[in-house]
Structure 1
Amino acid sequence: MNPESTTKLYKAPRTEISQNQGRFRIHFNFPGHNHPEHDDHGYGPLATVVESFMDPETLISMHPHQNEEIISWVPSGVMRHDDRQGNQLVTDSEHLMVMNAGSGFWHEERTLADDPPLRMLQIFVRPHSLDLPPTIQHEPIADPVANEWRHLFGPEGSDAPLSVRNDVHFYDVHLEEGASVDLPTKTDWDTYFYVFEGAVTADGTRFDETESGLLVDGDGLTVTAETETLLVAFCIDPDAPITRQGTIGR
């Protein structure tokens, strides 16, 4: 955080919490770790943002989730999903998937031999209540417009194309070098952002690829791309009721 600024902006470097399963590798980004006085690895309903890598011809066999909302954001490549409800879904740059696991949902993920290497985010949101009805959403999303935020999911009843069962909004933006945008904000909510590709500066601080920032009690903040950048942001109600019994997103 810049000591000369009144803005409460907290930076976290690339996470060191990782698992390497050979053809499948994951890095756990815990937004609560950005805040030095926060005693929860998550931040309100946002439990963790997982950077996932799958090599071609990789299978993550059928497994269950409970009491968490899992969002699959795939900026390039493909992630193939099968589940016990008979769905066979392909998530790519034109689609978003939200698995509202609720009381229980079984699925598997795979890439085929001729698929490209996959790097994606899997986002884990804590629902407001336990054992909600399980469901899945898989929808086309609007084409990105350079230097404009794209609203991808939000709480039930929001104007986002997909929904989660707690108070989190999710956005992405493709920034050209030198372009600036204001972070999404909402009164009394906080904003967490993650640099998927590229680098940005905000409030005099540089955030490189895989680094993250947390804006607390801020009226607004402008980020500027130091190079071509792909940035995601989460607008979060830090006081929303949450559960902590998710399979992964506790």
Structure 2
Amino acid sequence: MDPGTLIRMHQHRNEEIVSWVPDGVMRHDDRQGNELVTDSEHLMVMNAGSGFWHAEETYGDDPPLRMLQIFVRPHSLNLEPNIQHGPIPDAAPDEWRYLFGPEDGDAPLYVRNDVHFYDCRLDPDATVTLPSRAGCVTYLYVFDGAVTVEDEPVGYTESALVPADSEVRVTATERSTVVAFCINPEAPITRQGTIGR
């Protein structure tokens, strides 16, 4: 979003919407009276459920915003709407940070399905092991920079899908920001979201 952009009030239904902002700010307003700022120190999850209205904005003096807005299909339709917004752990270089996962888990915020989300900032030539969970496939996305996944290059805005129960090395070929999703492919999903159909 360029500075001075307004996405007017609109509704989402039956999807979990995660706003991950590595730099800059995203300003949120909703019909519940929340005025929230999501930035590199805060994460937001809208559990839209049966319906949630919100708007998004950047002010004219805000920096240009590049972020991920992640849509997760919930396990059931018309769940109770909710919004979560809060601080997240400080990022440590060359370490995965666990940011959201299923309800009743140990992640800072939750979504209503079997999806786990991590981010990592890698220095050049640093190597980490890709997150994995039993029964899950792992989807890697390069937000900035470039890496190799084992020996396969994965560049800026490219992605890789890794089969379940694989131990895989990710090495930065330049300073990089990457995210990883551990997804249970057998989890029940809905297909009646505003976006996720």
Bin of the TM-score, shorter chain as denominator length: over 0.9
Instruction: Report whether the alignment pairs 1:231 with 2:178.
Output: yes
Pick from 41, 45, 68 the counterpart of residue 15 of structure 2: 68
Give the TM-score normalised by structure 2. 0.99
Q: Could you tell me which residue of structure 1 aligns to residue 118 of structure 2?
A: 171
Which position in structure 2 is the counterpart of 1:210?
Answer: 157
Whole-Å Cα distance in 2 between the matches of residues 227 and 166 of structure 1? 34
Does the 8 A contact of 2:132 with 2:166 survive in 1?
yes
**Counterpart position of 1:157:** 104
Q: Give the equivalent residue in structure 1 for 2:53.
A: 106
Q: Distance in 1 between matches of 2:41 and 2:172?
A: 24
Q: Given that residues 24 and 65 in structure 2 are in contact (C-alpha distance below 8 angstroms), is that contact kept between their aligned partners in structure 1?
A: yes
Find the aligned partners of 1:145 and 1:203 in 2 and give their Cα distance. Answer: 22
Aligned runs of 1:187-198 on 2, under 5 Å? 187-198=134-145
Q: Which runs of 4+ in 1 moved over 4 A?
A: none
* Cα distance in 2 for residues equivalent to 1:72 and 1:195: 17
Letter in 2 for 1:204: D
- Aligned-partner Cα distance in 1 for 2:164–2:30: 40
CA distance in 1, matches of 2:131, 2:152: 18
How far residue 220 of structure 1 moved from its aligned partner, in angstroms, is 1.1
- Give, as a single letter, the amino acid of the residue that structure 2 aligns with 1:55: D
Q: Distance in 2 between matches of 1:83 and 1:156?
A: 23
Moved more, 113-122 or 214-223: 214-223
CA–CA separation in structure 2 for the residues paired with 1:179 and 1:79? 30
Cα offsets for 1:159-207 (capped at 9, x unmatched): 1000000000000000000000011001121000100000000122100
Task: Tell me, yes or no, if structure 1 residue 137 matches structure 2 residue 84.
Answer: yes
Q: 1:109-130 deviations in whole A, cap 9, x for unaligned?
A: 0000100000000000000000
Provide the rounded CA distance (Å) in 2 between the counterparts of 1:125 and 1:176: 29
**Cα displacement (A) at 1:84:** 0.3
* RMSD value, Cα: 0.6
**What number of residue pairs does the alignment pair up?**
197
- 1:199 and 2:146 aligned: yes
Distance in 2 separating the partners of 1:171 and 1:118:
20
- Unaligned runs of at least 5 residues, structure 2: none
Residue matched to 1:78 = 25
Amino acid aligned to 1:233? A
Offset at residue 60 of structure 1 (A):
0.2
* Structure 1 CA distance for aligned equivalents of residues 58 and 8 of structure 2: 12
Indicate the percent of aligned positions where both proteins have the same amino acid. Answer: 68
Normalising by structure 1, report the TM-score.
0.78
